[in-house]
Structure 1
Amino acid sequence: MAELAIAIAGVLSSLCGHQYFDPNVAICCQWSVTMRVAGLRTKCCGTTAFDPDSHKCCTNDNVVEKIAGKRTVCCGMEPMDPRTHKCCGHTVQPLVAGEDTHCCGYESYDPMERLCCKGMLFPPHVHPNCYGCDGMHEKPFFDNNKHACCEGKLVPAIVGNLTCCCKAQAFDPQDRICCDDKLQDRVGGDISACCGDKNYDPKTSICCNGNVLPRVAGNMTRCCNTRSFDPDTHVCCDNKKLAKKTRKSDSCCCGDEAFSPNKEVCCDDEVQPKFKRGTQCCEKKSFKSQKLICCEGSIQSLARGRKSITRCCGQKSYHAKKELCCNNKVMKKSKKKHTGCCGDVSYDPRTEMCCNGEPGPMLKEGTRCCNKNSFNVKTEICCDGRVYPNTMVCCNEKIIIDTNKEICCDGNKIETKAHKDDNCCCGNTSMNTLEGICCEGVPQSLEASDKTRCCGQLSYNPDKEICCENRVVPKIDSKDNWCCGDTSINTNLHICCRENKQPILTLVENTFCCRNKSFNGRLQMCCTGDVVDKRTPSDDYCCGKATIDTQNEICCEGKPIGVSDTDYGFCCGDDAGDTREQLCCNMKLVPKRRPDDDCCCGGTTMNANNMICCKGNSEPKEGGEFTKCCDDKAQHMQEKTHNVAWTRATILMRSCVVMEK
């Protein structure tokens, strides 16, 4: 059981599946141990831990951010602010009509403007004032031979059921046309069409990106962005620019120039000649690929006219069977079988190894490089660029010739052996791992042969002892798996509270410490060091010697008080009030006279932005910041003048202020 214990932090006291954990820093989510992300407030969403103050658990155990604080709700797997959006079939939709917004399938709509029939949302012209539902179909409330429905209002039909609407106005579509909600006379008779907010005659004009333009080539006229053109004389390039044709066969663009793809090719925006066979581009030039090759923008000839044996080396071509490309330079092969470069010479990688620019023999047993030499990895070693027999040892580029006398420690320091058979370094000495164990640089005896473990600088037998913070503690029971003070405990049965052995209450995951005592976290809480019974199972905070549920209560001078909304609840002495409706004046709750009141005055409330309190009497600030109190009345301190009357008024006002003080 001890092998299953996992030290996450502090004292192990809870079990999650087959795994032990510290409930102060971790939480058990569906038999999976997860680190707490919000202390003891942390909650589970499937196997994921989350902070309930900033996140919410939605469908399919999906943790989402609270985008609207406590008001956030789930819409399927997504968070939603109900003040601005509505959930329609697990899809977040905008409130298009405020609180009157309805859902039609997966869409939100305004029931005063749109018609919904069994999940089918009709376009705006099928207005609910004029149409009802017949199953999934719309049903008019009017005779369309006598009336037309325009923006939800019935208007007389001008031409029976052929009447159309342009916003709220009915019209005869044979004489007029509605373009972008603008009613106008048809300029092309029955064939008139809209182009933006204007109509035009398609026989004489063409619509190009909202612009009415003349047909310069009759029915053959085409558009190029906002221009019309004759395709017999011009080509439209990328729907932006017009290029003039030099030949009738020109049909494509190359940069800003027109060309014929049957006779030419476009190479990097340059028109180049096209050959009968194998035409390719080499940057801005075309070439015959049967006779030439492109090497980094340079046209080169094929070796012996054969593409199969020609390769590129930088901007030059070369004969691949006779030459090699080494560092962008063409080099002749020393031997035909050479296929690689080694420095400035060629070599055969199958039988040779290239070591720092020098070819060396490839050995069957295994070959490596040592500076410019190759060596046998089974019989030799490389040390400081030199080859030595493998009976020696290389230690930080220094060679140990007699391994019976010296040993390499930490791969960089040569030390004299304490004993001939030592095979390991330990602190400032050496030891034999068959006879001892190294514990933080101190050789120790094998207390339990291969089971021996280290505890700081001490060795111990894990079957009989436990290591706790570099202290070896004897096991009281063989099943004990952790320490508690100077004794051992079994974390399935006990919990360690300030080095005091305490019993597990009901379940391991519900048992916590309160100073030196254990308590049941489902039914109790630890408040100022004392175990207190929860008033309700949902209580999550202490209030004096009692507990409260912070979702609907606040603590006022150690007394739990229920409130309608904790976002607006506040304390006034040992009583609680609502900031939207009350103020605390001299430790007493006083109802607000107006919702925007923010301070007390006498036995009532006022708004300090537009009122002033004069001896308990609220007076309007008619002079703004220049308003002052004189006894229980407000006075407007007017701008200074140079007459005597002003001087006397000022003296009188000051005397009033002094008397008030």
Structure 2
Amino acid sequence: MIKSTRFQILVLLLMTTLSYQQGKRPATKAPPTKAPLPEEEEEEIVEGQPVDSDGITVPEEVESEFHTCRRFLDDGSVVENKYDQCTSFCCGGKILLKQESVKCCGSEELGTPYNEDTLSCCEWWMGQGKAYRSAFLRDHKYGCCGSHLITHSSQGCCYGDGPPEPFTKRREKCCGSNSVKLQSFFGDAACCGTTATFDRRRQSCPCNDGQVLNVRASKSECCKSDFGVQAPYIKGTQFCCEGSVGTVGKEFCCGSEIGTRASDVCCEGGIVVTVRPPDKTKTKCCGTTPFNPKKEMCCEGVVKAHVRLNTACCGETPYNPVRQICCEGSVWSRATDGTACCAQFAYFPEKQSFCHKGDVYFSAAVNGNAGCGDEFYFTDEGDFLCCNDRLVTAPGKDSCCDQEAYNSATEICCDGNIFDKGEGDVCCSNVPYFPRNTTICCDLGPSGHFHRPACCGGIGYDAAAGGVCCVGNIYEGFIWPSCCVDQGYDASTDTCCGATVHPNPRGSYLTACCGEIDPKPYDLISQLCCEGIAVPIPTGMNRKYAACCGDTGVYDPRTQLCCSGVPRNKADIYNTKCCGRETYDSSTHLCCDGESGKKPLIVKSNRFGDKTACCGNVAFDTEQQYCCAGVLTKAKAGVTGCCAGKAYDRTKTICCNDRLLKIGRNVPWESAKCCGGLCMYDGPQYCCENRIYMGNARSKRTCDKY
């Protein structure tokens, strides 16, 4: 068997060598292989290819513009190799020489090479592919499931977001594109996400993420956080804490963390702190310090001993708020020191004393019960008011305006000035006014009366009286008030083009701007803007169909042609064509207009019979003359081409990229073809990516040396 195989390989190599010498691509057949099992992947091995230690084809030296074959390794890295896509192909990260019947099953990155004569491909659009013996797939007992081979009688295929997977019927279930083992009788099984199944009679999957609970659905829920974390839990015995699950009676929720009762405590900010050494009495937190609330208390982040009835803090000092008073961090006795605070001291306001600027005064000593600046007065007499530390006489007045007193029922204070409410009941820029539908408060004061009040530059104006505000300036007396940058204008008589106001065309009220350098208005009803120039629409022409013809004419494309900027009527809707600025009947004439700068020529299409043609602006007889780049020469036998303005004999030379190349005597001129800028012998050679190849190798021979 070994000798026979070696003999076959030797014959194969000999046939390949002969094929190269004859200029034909070799038709290579793979050596016979042992029939694989349905589950086996069959990879075609190309004999005679150089391979590395891993069995990967070693690519030949190639140029930088060639393709790249990428191989993804298990560690996530990528190996890249250049290869010649005209002689080789990339499949599954491997580079293989092109051979008849050898194809890629799948993508360049994830596929598998195979011989399509004996194997068939099972592939998925994401790139995965494997080949199996064609006999299996011809038998209807087997089929493809993505890149897998399945037996229809006992297997099915799971389709989902990922590559398909086969599953065993009655033992597995499709969950998305995954096959998952059943946890119960087939009829009661359900998917839990895409990675697990559960028995609906005695299990549940509240989060649908593959986590199964051994309780019914009525006794479970999904615990979710605001950040997408989730976990299933059993109601009654467990609790939810921002996506985490705790045990009722043993643990507690602190913000988004779970703490253990008797060993942890929840501190401010949702921080769980472990009590060390363990102390079951410390159940609260002061900052990050656990403490016993029955014997201790927290005062401004400091743990203090809890003494008798001390239930509040005065700074860092515990005190009894029933018997004591806290004044700016100092503790005083309500019985002996005072019942109210004056700065950091306590005093008795009920003993005809009062607090003024942090000091305590006796009413009898200063002849008053309140202070104002350096003076004192009695508040209940109603004769004085304290206005910004200034004592003013205020009979019948109840409010202060800066340092003056006023009666808020009849007067109004606007920025330190007192006005009678008869002038207004609301302040606007230091003065009073009455807000109405016809008045308005602007930055420089109230304005009105207007039909439609508006502000411009701090001043009021009537927007309903033809007025407009342009960059803080008021313009009035217009029918259609508009702004042209900072200038007001009447759009019924003028148009703003390029930041300049222009008068409308006579009688026009619907305008637009025409031109880019110096735009001017034109009438949208009777004119068209053609290349920056306003051109009138001919009388009787439908505005809907009017189109520009150069920069001076307008035409109707339905019945006219635009010939070099001149409107021309169509004599025949199908055959009338343009020839320069004139028209002609294309069914009977030719237009010789091939050379710029010269007047085109209209000639009869049968002037020289069926040999009539144009060369630039001249008609000629193709049987007597030859046209090359607008120049007529006398016709000669074999002259059949034009190369860069020069006539040449196509039977002896070929034009490739505007270069004349010689055709060798061994190459039939019909088989001489261009490949990029070179000439090749089509048949023995072929062109790929503008490179010449013979068989499966690069060829440097051109048709002049063949």
> TM-score, normalized by length of structure 1?
0.35
Larger Rg over CA atoms? 2
